[in-house]
Amino acid sequence: MEANYIQKRMEELQKSGEFANALGKLISKKPGYKAVIEKRRFNIRCLKCGKVFESSIGACPGCGSKVELPKRQ
């Protein structure tokens, strides 16, 4: 199969809802189930300049220094 065909077909499935219904049925064994993926965010403070920002950013927007995210427990 051609890569463009596969890409176009995936876009069609996602727009029509068939893909979401199939995935929901696969996950929950119930038709119409909608899975929700939640990304946890929290505020952290830059150790270099003290600016507070969301954890989804990899570098401080204030000074540009690399931010190490706390490890999950």
Express each pLDDT in 6-64 by its tens digit.
888 878 877 777 777 777 788 888 777 776 666 666 788 888 898 888 776 778 888 98
Model pTM? 0.37
Give the separation between CA 68 and CA 59, rounded to whole angstroms.
9
**Both tokens of residue 48?**
């270099």
Torsion of CA 37, 44, 58, 49, to 10 degrees: 170
pLDDT for position 40: 66
pLDDT for position 60: 85
Q: Do 67 and 60 contact (CB within 8 A), yes or no?
A: yes
